[in-house]
Amino acid sequence: MKTIALVAHDQKKDALIAWARTHEAQLAPHRLFATGTTGGRLKAETGLAITPLKSGPLGGDAQLGAMIAEEDLDALIFFVDPLSAMPHDVDVKSLIRLAILYDTLMAVNEATATGIVRCLAD
């Protein structure tokens, strides 16, 4: 069992929900965390057991960063919207920087997220 975080910018939430539904069987055996609205939608719209964190701008990104720094997170799946300005962009960059620094599996789009769940299934 791995610990996986699921995060999506507002314009990518629908895509993450659709992706999670498609990969529900591969995700279900793992401990899943998600920030704010994304976590609420995943709980409501899939059969996955999600541990909710705070909204990203209200500390959820920091909570995930702490999990990465403590090496308590095996994979970060973060559907990033590259076309929208984010008011908490500094927090997002910090989270990505920590994932890189601690060599945490990280996906930023559907293709890489699918690769990660396939890798974790092996």
pLDDT in tens, 39-74: 999 999 999 999 999 988 788 889 999 999 999 999
CATH number where 101 lies: 3.40.50.1380
* pLDDT value of position 120: 86
Q: Which domain holds residue 77?
A: 3-121
SS3 55: coil
Residue numbers of the chain with a pLDDT score lower than 70: 85-88
Q: Give catalytic status of residue 61 as yes or no.
A: yes
Q: Per the confidence metrics, is the pTM higher than 0.85?
A: yes
CA pair distance 8, 77, nearest whole angstrom:
8
Half-sphere exposure of 29 (CA within 13 A, CB side): 8
Out of 14, 61, 72, 103, the active site residue is 61
CA pair distance 23, 19, nearest whole angstrom:
6
Tokens of residue 20, six digits: 């999670």
Domains in the chain: how many in total?
A: 1
* pLDDT value of position 31: 97
| CA 102, chain centre distance (Å) | 16
